[in-house]
């Protein structure tokens, strides 16, 4: 595991991330899910953020409330006063990112801002809470990641976007790719039928000083295989299972 100058990544590896708090074990992106993961000893959580009509960042995956809650409507069109009344399974409210940052000051949070509207509010939250050093951002938009880095400053830990991952994948196969600026590569095992995470990609990332975190891995056999490849972190919806795998390997920290 490459040594990292980023405080977010400064922890004995492999890093264990509870994806959406561990959505296969508790309702995803709820304080109950995050609390469950923290109670297991997780120091890394992953969540998505959307922005309400009045600029409040909420930890929620979907664009709208329809699938997961007893309310409906696009989050970007609703004020926080409405979103806060929505209830997920078993009556859990939709948390704000502020709630998550404040509940466990020692925990590090990987954030996926789902739309450009989240850029300014996320930069403001990080400045106001002083949480920049314990937050990393990842996104399916390279442009969004660049804009966030500009808004927050050089202290923001960010992963590669899709273009960066493509360049890293190509470099692992001998294609000249130049500098790839990021702290880590957060990647799937397979994307659109193409194997992304293999020994060549891990080796090339490490050669460039990048950690490799793989999402979303829920099968214990696949966890073992990827850890044997030398990946630096796993994101899982089954935090209990990943903890058991890492404990058995002597890698739970």
Instruction: Report the CATH superfamily, name and number, of domain 30-158.
Output: Phosphatidylinositol (PI) phosphodiesterase (3.20.20.190)
Angle, CA of 195, 214 and 245, to the nearest 5°: 115
What integer pLDDT is reported at residue 5 of this predicted model?
A: 84
Q: What are phi and psi of 144, to 5 degrees?
A: -65, -40
Angle, CA of 134, 139 and 140, to the nearest 5°: 165
User: 19, 36, 50, 213: which one is catalytic?
Assistant: 19
Q: Is the pLDDT of residue 2 over 90?
A: no
Instruction: State mean pLDDT over 159-170.
Output: 97
Q: Is the pLDDT of residue 4 over 90?
A: no
Domain ranges of the chain: 30-158, 159-248
**19 part of the active site:** yes
**pLDDT per residue as tens digits for the range 24-81:** 999 999 999 999 999 999 999 999 999 999 999 999 999 999 999 999 999 999 999 9
The band of 165, judged by pLDDT with boundaries at 50, 70 and 90, is very high
Task: Evaluate whether 228 touches 5 at the Cβ level (below 8 Å).
Answer: no
- pTM, rounded to two decimals: 0.96
Q: In whole angstroms, what is the distance from residue 243 CA to residue 42 CA? A: 9
What integer pLDDT is reported at residue 3 of this predicted model?
A: 61
The band of 1, judged by pLDDT with boundaries at 50, 70 and 90, is low
**pLDDT per residue as tens digits for the range 109-141:** 999 999 999 999 999 999 999 999 999 999 999
Q: Is the pLDDT of residue 227 over 80?
A: yes
239: β partners: none
What integer pLDDT is reported at residue 215 of this predicted model?
A: 98
- What's the chain's average pLDDT? 97
Q: How far is CA 145 from the centre of its chain?
A: 13
Residues above pLDDT 70, as percent of the chain: 99
CB 169: neighbour CB atoms within 10 A?
24
Helix axes 31-40, 239-249, angle to 10 degrees: 10
**pLDDT per residue as tens digits for the range 78-109:** 999 999 999 998 999 999 999 999 999 999 99
Q: Is the pLDDT of residue 21 over 80?
A: yes
Residue 64 DSSP code: B
**61 part of the active site:** yes
User: 11, 36, 50, 61: which one is catalytic?
Assistant: 61
């Amino acid at each position: 595991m490459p040594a990292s100058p980023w405080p977010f990544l400064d922890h004995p590896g492999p890093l264990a991330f509870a994806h959406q708090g561990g959505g296969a074990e508790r309702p995803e992106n709820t304080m109950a899910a995050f609390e469950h993961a923290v109670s297991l000893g997780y120091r890394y959580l992953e969540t998505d953020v959307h922005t309400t009509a009045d600029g409040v960042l909420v930890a929620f995956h979907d664009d709208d409330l329809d699938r997961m809650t007893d309310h409906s409507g696009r989050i970007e069109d609703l004020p926080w006063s409405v979103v806060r009344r929505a209830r997920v399974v078993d009556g859990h409210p939709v948390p704000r990112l502020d709630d998550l940052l404040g509940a466990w000051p020692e925990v590090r949070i990987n954030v996926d801002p789902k739309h450009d509207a989240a850029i300014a509010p996320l930069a403001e939250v990080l400045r106001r809470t002083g949480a920049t050093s314990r937050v990393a951002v990842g996104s399916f938009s390279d442009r969004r990641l660049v804009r966030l880095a500009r808004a927050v400053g050089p202290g923001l830990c960010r992963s590669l976007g899709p273009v960066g991952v493509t360049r890293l994948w190509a470099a692992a196969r001998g294609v000249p790719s130049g500098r790839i600026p990021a702290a880590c590569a957060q990647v799937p095992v397979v994307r659109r039928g193409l194997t992304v995470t293999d020994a060549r990609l891990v080796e090339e990332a490490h050669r460039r000083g990048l950690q490799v975190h793989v999402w979303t891995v829920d099968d214990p056999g696949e966890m073992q295989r990827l850890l044997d490849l030398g990946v630096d972190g796993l994101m899982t919806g089954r935090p209990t299972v990943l903890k058991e795998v890492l404990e058995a390997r002597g890698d739970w920290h």
